[in-house]
């Protein structure tokens, strides 16, 4: 008995000591508040540079809910651990970051720690922003501090106890977070390194395109391998991508810059913001650098020669033939879709996506295709100024499923999808997983 009591006491001692050590280690002190800096105290050239960087990091997308004031926060982000609201990052002193010094702002970007010393949730992609250079963080700070101040506090988060204890985020960081600026790769060109710097850091492509593990960290061994995000699927950006035409640097450039290409279709869903609140506005040299970096890792250079053949095959497959008579999906497609998605044999047109070339038809599951059929592509998404009507009210779940099944069967030689009707019901219900 005595021995057991002693062992238990020792164990308790170790646990308490562990907690004390953890708390000391995890503790971050507050950084003293400052009087909000005057907007004219910032060099306009630095502010302009910061604006481009803010675009490349889509700060607006996450920090502005639909119809909300720019950067005033309050966008709900639904995670497996509860809803987290983005914060107000305008220079309002009481509810925004008006009394944050550059030092406090840098610590948030690089270490995920707020001015008051509390740890931030990785819904804020500081695990990528840690790679952003000190100079670029300084420019971002100048841009944010010169936005109109908006007094508006975000709604309280719904993360349950004990996960809402911010100190515990330090444990997550210990397991998954590596602080540090981007380190250039020596045997790569300056342009490649610029692309990697942006894609891995500020533009956090992996936050959507890399699958996450049980505790929500990106799986390092599946970098950019494709992942579910907000009810969509962000396809693989590696050689595992299923789009028939390879994603060359030129195709990637046009897609990121314009929101679509004739050989790959349009950027819809969450990718639309990446384009229209991001890459449509950043300098062309940077769009090219990111395209070059992504293309260097996807094997597209080796497949260049096949493009003519692939496009020809896709156009041939999209022709209706008599063997499809009696197929409910084919009949629906002919009446509801074909008029807009028919291309001449000379080649596909940008504003008439050739569906057999789109990775949503060759993807492992029909989520993205179903999203577009049910909800359409609005004028502001995809290609600016063009739209695809939503069929969610006009077509039943069975009809939508029949069209998806028909497209998979006629446009690809891949095995049929499982449970298409289940995916339609899930997407219609707004469920994210």
Site for ligand HEC in 299-358 (CB under 6 A): 336-337, 339-341, 351, 353, 355, 358
Torsion of CA 371, 125, 85, 377, to 10 degrees: -20
- Of the candidate residues 37, 55, 64, 87, the single one contacting ligand HEC (CB under 6 A): 87
Whichever of 118 and 313 has its CB closer to ligand HEC, that residue is 118
- Of the candidate residues 47, 287, 315, 369, the single one contacting ligand HEC (CB under 6 A): 369
Q: What is the spatial distance between Cα 175 and Cα 169, in angstroms, rounded to a whole number?
A: 10
Is the distance from CB of 209 to CB of 227 less than 8 angstroms?
Answer: yes
Assess 121 for contact with ligand HEC (CB under 6 A). yes
Whichever of 16 and 27 has its CB closer to ligand HEC, that residue is 27
- Of the candidate residues 47, 49, 51, 58, the single one contacting ligand HEC (CB under 6 A): 58
- From the centroid of its chain, how far is CA 358? 19
Q: State the maximum Cα–Cα separation within the chain, in Å, rounded to a whole number.
A: 89
Is the distance from CB of 317 to CB of 356 less than 8 angstroms?
Answer: yes
Assess 98 for contact with ligand HEC (CB under 6 A). no
| Segment (H or E) for 11 | helix 2-26
Assess 263 for contact with ligand HEC (CB under 6 A). no
Assess 46 for contact with ligand HEC (CB under 6 A). no
Q: Which residues contact 341 (CB under 8 A, 6 or more apart)?
A: 318, 352, 353, 354, 355
Q: What is the spatial distance between Cα 241 and Cα 227, in angstroms, rounded to a whole number?
A: 12
Nearest to 268 by CA among 402, 360, 354, 341: 360
Assess 62 for contact with ligand HEC (CB under 6 A). yes
- Of the candidate residues 203, 298, 343, 410, the single one contacting ligand HEC (CB under 6 A): 203
Is the distance from CB of 56 to CB of 198 less than 8 angstroms?
Answer: yes
Q: Which of residues 224-253 bind ligand HEC (CB under 6 A)?
A: 229, 232, 234-235, 237, 241, 243, 247, 252
Q: Which stretch binds ligand HEC (CB under 6 A): 10-18, 314-322, 376-384, 418-426?
A: 376-384
Ranked by CB distance to ligand HEC, the top (closest) residue is: 265
Shortest Å, Cβ 427 to ligand HEC: 13
């Amino acid at each position: 008995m005595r021995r057991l009591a002693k062992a238990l006491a020792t164990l308790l001692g170790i646990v308490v000591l562990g907690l004390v050590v953890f708390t000391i280690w995890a503790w971050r002190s507050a950084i003293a508040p400052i009087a909000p800096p005057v907007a004219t105290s910032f060099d306009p050239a630095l502010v302009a540079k910061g604006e481009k960087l803010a675009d490349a990091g889509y700060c607006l997308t996450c920090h502005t809910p639909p119809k909300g004031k720019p950067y005033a926060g309050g966008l709900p982000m639904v995670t497996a651990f509860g809803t987290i609201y983005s914060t107000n990052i305008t220079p309002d002193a009481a509810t925004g970051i008006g009394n944050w010094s550059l030092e406090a702002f840098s610590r948030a970007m690089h270490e995920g720690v707020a001015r008051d010393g509390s740890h931030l949730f990785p819904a804020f992609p500081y695990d990528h922003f840690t790679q952003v250079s000190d100079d670029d963080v300084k420019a971002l700070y100048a841009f944010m501090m010169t936005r109109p101040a908006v007094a508006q506090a975000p709604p309280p988060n719904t993360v349950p106890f004990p996960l809402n204890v911010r100190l515990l985020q330090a444990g997550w960081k210990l397991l998954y977070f590596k602080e540090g600026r981007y380190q250039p790769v020596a045997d790569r060109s300056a342009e490649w390194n610029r692309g990697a710097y942006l894609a891995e850091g500020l533009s956090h492509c992996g936050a959507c395109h890399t699958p996450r593990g049980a505790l929500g960290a990106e799986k390092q061994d599946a970098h950019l391998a494709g992942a579910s995000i907000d009810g969509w699927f962000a396809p693989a950006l590696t050689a595992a991508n299923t789009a028939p035409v390879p994603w060359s640097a030129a195709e990637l450039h046009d897609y990121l810059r314009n929101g679509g290409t004739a050989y790959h279709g349009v950027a819809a869903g969450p990718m639309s913001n990446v384009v229209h609140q991001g890459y449509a506005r950043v300098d062309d040299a940077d769009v090219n650098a990111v395209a070059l970096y992504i293309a260097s890792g996807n094997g597209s250079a080796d497949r260049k020669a096949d493009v003519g053949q692939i496009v020809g095959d896709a156009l041939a497959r999209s022709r209706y033939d008599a063997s499809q008579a009696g197929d409910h999906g084919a009949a629906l497609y002919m009446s509801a879709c074909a008029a807009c998605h028919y291309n001449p044999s000379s080649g596909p047109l940008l504003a008439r996506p050739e569906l057999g070339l789109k990775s949503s038809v060759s993807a492992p599951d029909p989520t993205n295709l179903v999203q577009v059929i049910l909800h359409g592509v609005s004028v502001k998404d995809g290609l600016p100024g063009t739209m695809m009507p939503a069929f969610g009210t006009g077509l039943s779940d069975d009809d939508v499923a029949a069209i998806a099944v028909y497209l998979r069967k006629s446009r690809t030689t891949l095995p049929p999808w499982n449970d298409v009707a289940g995916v339609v019901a899930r997407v219609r219900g707004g469920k994210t997983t």
